[in-house]
Chain A
Amino acid sequence: MKRATIVNKIIIEPTKGWACLKLQELWQYRELFYFLALRDIKVRYKQTFLGVSWALVNPLMQMFVWAFVFGVIAKFPSAGVPYVLITLSGTIAWNYFSEIVNGAGNAMLTNTNLISKIYFPRLIIPLSVVLRALLDFVIASVLLILMIFYFRVQLSLSIIFLPVFIILITLISSGVGLWAAAISVKFRDVGKILPYFIQTIFFLTPVAYLKAAIPQKYLWLYYLNPVAGAIDGLRWVFLGIPFSWNWLFLQVLISVIIFVSGLFYFKRLERTFADII
């Protein structure tokens, strides 16, 4: 041991009002965060027959199904890009979102044991879900890039904007995830409702279609969805499909509001987790 701070004084007191975020403490516990994410990743790949390739098989299957339904049967507009690339880029981003929201919504209850037995910043649990989902996202993105080369779609300089949209979708996903995580401790039926919620958002998000398919008069509603914005952005980065910059600021703002409010709501409920879980 012999840590830098041998005698650190701990004060235990009831917290009042909206607690501060204690980001410094979160940093102290970064290793636990890393181990939790690592555990979840290892366990998942050990339990599935397909192992790591599951991170590829799943988006591939969805890519073909949605491309068949929307591109071949319904003949949605494709902006001159192979429809499988549209659905694959959408699926990858969507899976990232839904995995975080669903994962965070269930993670608190699956880790009841940890929460009721030891102290650590509870934020670690939903945040480790984000890390886990990010890994899948990265693996699947490699697949997307290979497909792009296969179809000989020209990558442009816009690729430097990739981080912007990854941050945007991470922000909105973790924001919704934090809300789901906090509420799931208080209300046990949230885990059951969550899939329906995600299902609804799925159809409101351009996973399997392009923005061009949306009637003009509903477009403003479409733009209020930060996930839609992020997917559009990713399609612009990878496939060169035009992107509306005008709405990006609003989408970022909505994401930040949901994320920050989720963060504080989670922190607010955090101190009671061990009592009610």
Chain B
Amino acid sequence: MSEAIIKVEKISKSYKIGETIHHDTLRDLLTDSFHGLLRKKEKKIHDNDDFVWALKDVSFELKRSEVVGIIGRNGAGKSTLLKILSRITEPTKGRVEICGRIGSLLEVGTGFHPELTGRENIYMNGAVLGMSKREIDRKLDEIIAFTEITKFIDTPVKRYSSGMYVRLTFAVAAYLETEILLVDEVLAVGDLAFQKKCLGKMEDVARLGRTVIFVSHNMGLVRYLCEKAIFLDNGRVEAIGSSGEIIGRYMKNILSDENVNNSGLIPAEKKRVKTESASVISAAIEALDKKSSRQFDIWEPFKIVIEIESFQSDLTIIPWVFIYNSFGDTVLTSFYYDNAEKIKGNQGSNIKCALIIDPNFLMPGRYTVSVGIFGPLKVIYDWSEHILSFEIGNSFLSGRQFDGRPGVASFPYKWEVV
């Protein structure tokens, strides 16, 4: 079966600058049209500059049962591409042909309402995902069994724990039977068990001959799941090929100096997710003596400092940090609750917190850091990928040099005769 199931031909998407941030009001319209009368000609000339291209001439073809990873930095156009493929938004130019139904795991939990019971939400979410009522009726028992919360299925979901909530949201998506599946990694931020379930399901899906498009920052996962990858950069297709090769190119690109800013402040276009709840305003890597640095030896501890601004009162904020090695594999993930209580944000308040990275643990090499914050139920408030980088040097405290041994982690080894 070699016919193309998805044919993307030169699609482009432009946004008006500021369109996503600024919301028009009637008042603006009135004042603008008044000003517009005075300087109509002026505006015409600048018309072209008001647009940014989120995607530019993107073309590719996917065959049946291919599993393809889409990689690229924040703002490279990955989400826009998924949005166009799932028909949420229209391309400005170009054409896409898709044979079959498209399902997407972008919308896990969409349409859920806290006042409704688990059972009612299964129907609601199923309808949102494009299942017919009969289809849901038929699978209902299986879905409920999959959630492992049969006892609470007739309880309003507002009384659910976050774990129960996540299980319920994924259960519905897991029974979606479409020819094509779009998966965004945002959903995989959850706990490990949840991630495993997602991945297991994705493998099943691929084995059944369905096509999967997977957007992820976790190169290890992309390498593991996808035989093919597409590297997007600045809205263009930079490379398409076998996932191993493409990931290599991507990581080289990421680690090149101009791409990782270490100034601390996080520019808006670097953000993957942004909400009106809270935001990470800066992130920095500091030595314990508070000097900003990005070069440490194996024996040196350091910390990743995150500054958060809360826009709402009494907001639960959980910061997290991902560290990736130069192959793009996630070396470690830590959430604030790993050893501390939740942070409560108040309107306009700034919170600074730091994750201490113990010494003698990371192997020499270059690493990148992603930071983010989420709230209850793992709702992501803010997420910036590969925002910082640091390098672990070759020296141990004793002055001994690293000997190039293989491995991804290290610790103060203790050998003894027993």
Which residues in A have some Cβ–Cβ distance to B below 8 Å?
A: 1, 3, 6-15, 31-32, 34-36, 39, 42-43, 46-47, 113-120, 186-190, 193, 271, 274-276
Q: A14-B91, A46-B115, A189-B25 are in contact. Are A118 and B127 (CB under 8 A)?
A: no
Return chain B residues, CB-CB under 8 Å to A275: 15, 19-20, 89
B70 nearest CB across to chain A (Å)? 17
For B84, B93, B95, B111, which residue has the most chain A Cβ atoms within 10 angstroms?
Answer: B111
For A9, A35, A189, A274, which residue has the most chain B Cβ atoms within 10 angstroms?
Answer: A35
Return chain A residues, CB-CB under 8 Å to B90: 12-15, 271
Return 9 A-B CB contacts under 8 Å, by A number. Answer: A9-B99, A10-B98, A13-B91, A14-B92, A34-B127, A36-B127, A43-B115, A118-B128, A118-B129
Q: Are B110 and A11 in contact (CB under 8 A)?
A: no
Return chain A residues, CB-CB under 8 Å to B129: 118
Chain A residue, CB-CB nearest to B178: A1
For A116, A186, A271, A275, which residue has the most chain B Cβ atoms within 10 angstroms?
Answer: A275
- Report if B106 contacts A (CB, 8 A): yes
Interface SS of chain B: mixed
Report Cα–Cα, A120/B25, bound state, in Å: 26
A-B pairs with the 4 shortest C-beta distances?
Answer: A119-B87, A12-B96, A35-B127, A10-B98
- Report if B290 contacts A (CB, 8 A): no
Residue from B11, B98, B110 within 8 A of A117 (CB atoms): B110
- Report if B113 contacts A (CB, 8 A): yes
Q: Are A7 and B99 in contact (CB under 8 A)?
A: yes
Return chain B residues, CB-CB under 8 Å to A274: 83, 88-89
Return chain B residues, CB-CB under 8 Å to A186: 24
Residue from A114, A189, A276 within 8 A of B111 (CB atoms): A114
Q: A7-B100, A274-B89 are in contact. Are A31 and B113 (CB under 8 A)?
A: no
Q: Are B116 and A39 in contact (CB under 8 A)?
A: yes
Return chain B residues, CB-CB under 8 Å to A47: 115
Q: Are B100 and A8 in contact (CB under 8 A)?
A: yes
Please provide the chain B residues from 2 to 33 with a CB less than 8 Å away from any CB of chain A in the complex. 11, 15, 19-20, 23-27, 29
Return chain B residues, CB-CB under 8 Å to A119: 86-88
For A9, A47, A119, A188, which residue has the most chain B Cβ atoms within 10 angstroms?
Answer: A119
Return chain B residues, CB-CB under 8 Å to A42: 115-116, 120
Q: What's the tally of chain B residues with a CB closer than 8 Å to chain A? A: 50
Return chain A residues, CB-CB under 8 Å to B20: 275-276
- Report if B314 contacts A (CB, 8 A): no
Report Cα–Cα, A42/B120, bound state, in Å: 10
Please provide the chain B residues from 131 to 185 with a CB less than 8 Å away from any CB of chain A in the complex. 132-133, 135, 156, 177, 179
Return chain A residues, CB-CB under 8 Å to B88: 115-119, 274
A29 nearest CB across to chain B (Å)? 9
- Report if B358 contacts A (CB, 8 A): no
Residue from A31, A43, A188 within 8 A of B25 (CB atoms): A188
Report Cα–Cα, A171/B215, bound state, in Å: 44
Q: Are A118 and B110 in contact (CB under 8 A)?
A: yes
Chain A residue, CB-CB nearest to B86: A119
Known A12-B87, A114-B110, A275-B89; 4 more pairs at CB < 8 Å: A12-B84, A31-B132, A39-B111, A46-B116
Q: Are A187 and B26 in contact (CB under 8 A)?
A: yes
Query: Chain B, 202-232, contact with A by CB distance < 8 Å: what is the 0/1 string?
Result: 0000000000000000000000000000000
Residue from A11, A13, A35, A276 within 8 A of B123 (CB atoms): A35
- Report if B50 contacts A (CB, 8 A): no
Report Cα–Cα, A3/B249, bound state, in Å: 42
For A42, A118, A120, which residue has the most chain B Cβ atoms within 10 angstroms?
Answer: A118
A95 nearest CB across to chain B (Å)? 23
- Report if B124 contacts A (CB, 8 A): yes
Residue from A3, A117, A188, A193 within 8 A of B24 (CB atoms): A188
Return chain A residues, CB-CB under 8 Å to B57: none
Q: A31-B133, A32-B127, A186-B24 are in contact. Are A12 and B115 (CB under 8 A)?
A: no
Report Cα–Cα, A39/B157, bound state, in Å: 14
Return chain A residues, CB-CB under 8 Å to B98: 9-12
Return chain A residues, CB-CB under 8 Å to B96: 10-13
Q: Are A189 and B27 in contact (CB under 8 A)?
A: yes
Q: A31-B132, A42-B116, A117-B106 are in contact. Are A187 and B89 (CB under 8 A)?
A: no
For B87, B92, B107, B127, which residue has the most chain A Cβ atoms within 10 angstroms?
Answer: B127
Return chain A residues, CB-CB under 8 Å to B29: 187
Return chain A residues, CB-CB under 8 Å to B95: 11-13
Q: A12-B96, A188-B24 are in contact. Are A117 and B107 (CB under 8 A)?
A: yes
Return chain A residues, CB-CB under 8 Å to B110: 113-114, 117-118
- Report if B238 contacts A (CB, 8 A): no
- Report if B62 contacts A (CB, 8 A): no
- Report if B323 contacts A (CB, 8 A): no
B150 nearest CB across to chain A (Å)? 21
Q: A11-B96, A274-B88 are in contact. Are A35 and B83 (CB under 8 A)?
A: no
Q: Are B19 and A276 in contact (CB under 8 A)?
A: yes
Query: Chain B, 98-124, contact with A by CB distance < 8 Å: what is the 0/1 string?
Result: 111110101100110101100010011
Report Cα–Cα, A46/B116, bound state, in Å: 9
Return chain B residues, CB-CB under 8 Å to A9: 97-99
Q: Are B93 and A188 in contact (CB under 8 A)?
A: no
Return chain B residues, CB-CB under 8 Å to A11: 95-98
Report Cα–Cα, A1/B83, bound state, in Å: 24
Q: Are A187 and B87 in contact (CB under 8 A)?
A: no
Return chain B residues, CB-CB under 8 Å to A188: 23-25
Report Cα–Cα, A275/B80, bound state, in Å: 10
Return chain A residues, CB-CB under 8 Å to B76: none
B173 nearest CB across to chain A (Å)? 12
Q: Are B93 and A14 in contact (CB under 8 A)?
A: yes
B32 nearest CB across to chain A (Å)? 12
- Report if B283 contacts A (CB, 8 A): no
Report Cα–Cα, A39/B89, bound state, in Å: 25
Residue from B25, B99, B111 within 8 A of A187 (CB atoms): B25
Report Cα–Cα, A1/B176, bound state, in Å: 9
